[in-house]
Amino acid sequence: MSDVAREHLESWAVQVRKGVLELAVLNTLLEGERYGYELVKALAAVPALSVSEGTLYPILSRLRLQGLVRTRLEESPEGPARKYYALTPAGRDAAREMQERLDHLAVACRHLRHSP
């Protein structure tokens, strides 16, 4: 593979990953509320989705402003208060719809790959 092709592939992969990170966060919160660092660890457990706190918190802020995630603050015996994130009903609906759309796109791409 040429350097130009490799650079294009890397750029494309970054864009695809950005596009699915919100869904990954929403899907992680389907299991229940979590505080920020728990989300970072859960996403880090899936190598293709590993994110830093600097990437995660802007996503969570956007999701909160869109009404898809709610937050609450809770004191922690281990240090500063923790901000917990949970899905709103709209967030659950969005996660389901986003997952359906992504699944349809994946099926369509696989279909094209196997077409004559």
Report pLDDT digits (tens) over 65-75.
Answer: 999 999 999 99
- In this prediction, residue 12 carries a pLDDT of 87
pLDDT averages per 10-residue partition of the chain, 116 residues: 88 85 96 92 89 91 97 88 95 97 92 77
- In this prediction, residue 115 carries a pLDDT of 65
CATH number for 71: 1.10.10.10
User: Residue 55 sits in which domain range?
Assistant: 3-114
Q: What pTM does this model have?
A: 0.86
Phi, psi of 77 (to 5 degrees): -70, -10
> Tokens representing 40?
């970072």
- In this prediction, residue 48 carries a pLDDT of 84
CB 83 within 8 A of CB 70: no
- In this prediction, residue 22 carries a pLDDT of 94
Q: How many domains does the chain have?
A: 1
- In this prediction, residue 52 carries a pLDDT of 86
